[in-house]
Structure 1
């Protein structure tokens, strides 16, 4: 004699619903969440003769870029020092809210005695940060390098870099190719500072 198992119809319906719900939930979880991407460019701006003369008198090196486009997420303008562990140390930062921009970003570097100072100027906001050296005379100063061409922005944009080294030779690098702190080629005996526009604080 065959043994029959009795399963109520309601249980079958509920089981089917549960399986369908699990499949839908699983499929929903697998759908990637796409975040809005900021679309803007950074264009180097020439320094006027008057600005250059003023900067020379103030013992400064200056540069500027035009930020044009839309930030769809909060970004930060930062003064940083690059560290041997491929990370960065933030000296100061300025928050840029998500919106459309057609704005000039100015930045500067200066030093006196054992103090190096960096600054950024956006609209009516000016920020400065500095770092103290105990033996600045031990370093050879390469000076500041700036972006040389217009580029579509990435999540990490190096606008200016400032090199110091205890070595006899210092090599430059392409600022447009730096997309993260680890891309900065820091060697023993060097200190490298930068002005950065990034979507990470």
Structure 2
């Protein structure tokens, strides 16, 4: 009996060692995929002159400063949020891994039955738009922008533009949005955003 107990205990110890060895690569893999970029996103106040100039073109404008280091490629994107808790990309601008001390300006406007989103980074401008069948049916809220500085995460909502055909338009805390699923779409809504993400 003692011999049987000894063998069982030894087998148990060996089994535990094998489990630890099997778990070790998974732990290392999880650590290697952790977010490593060190970038701060800070809102930049729009001047009165900039606001007046934007108003002439019926634009909503905002700006943030990116300061720090991207360790991997990121993308600035104009997106529309979809009912399936995903996003549809209207345009992208690639940011290569390097140090940044850069201001990003973004804008939203309308013409005819289209919504326009755009952004400027250094000397580069990118834009995208989407059409509406009945734009006049929507109550237009305007844009929400980041209100405080924060460290970048894998998904950063910089601006959101919310439209609905119903009463009671809701606002957004942009700093709490960490993925497209955090922007649930209700019936009669269309929601657009400008995002900094490590996924294209």
Please give the TM-score of this superposition, normalised by the length of structure 1: 0.85
- Are 2:110 and 1:111 equivalent residues in the alignment? yes
Q: Could you tell me which residue of structure 1 aligns to residue 9 of structure 2?
A: none
| Secondary structure, counterpart of 1:85 in structure 2 | coil
Residue 95 of structure 1 is matched in structure 2 by 94
Alignment match, 2:79: 80
- Rounded Cα–Cα distance in structure 2 between residues aligned with 1:38 and 1:133: 38
* Residue 154 of structure 2 corresponds to residue 158 of structure 1: no
CA distance in 1 between counterparts of 2:140 and 2:26 reads 52
Q: How many Å apart are 1:28 and its aligned residue?
A: 6.9
Q: Output the aligned Cα RMSD.
A: 1.7
Residues 55-77 of structure 1: CA distance to partner in whole angstroms, max 9, x if unpaired? 00011000000000100000000
**Would you say 1:48 and 2:44 are equivalent positions?**
no
Runs (4 or more) in structure 1 with deviation over 6 Å come to none
Q: Which runs of 5+ in 1 are unaligned?
A: 1-21
In structure 2, the CA distance between the partners of 1:167 and 1:97, relative to structure 1 (3 Å rule), is same
Provide the C-alpha distance between the structure 2 equivalents of 1:180 and 1:27, rounded to a whole number of angstroms: 28
Secondary structure of 2:28 counterpart:
coil
Determine the C-alpha separation between the residues in 1 that align with 2:120 and 2:26: 44
Displacement of 1:29: 3.8
Superimposed CA distance per residue, residues 69-98 of structure 1 (whole angstroms, 9 cap, x where no aligned partner) = 100000000000000000000000000000
Distance change (3 Å), C-alpha of 1:30 and 1:158 = closer
CA distance in 1, matches of 2:101, 2:142: 29
Select the structure of larger CA radius of gyration.
Answer: 1
Pairs aligned (count):
179
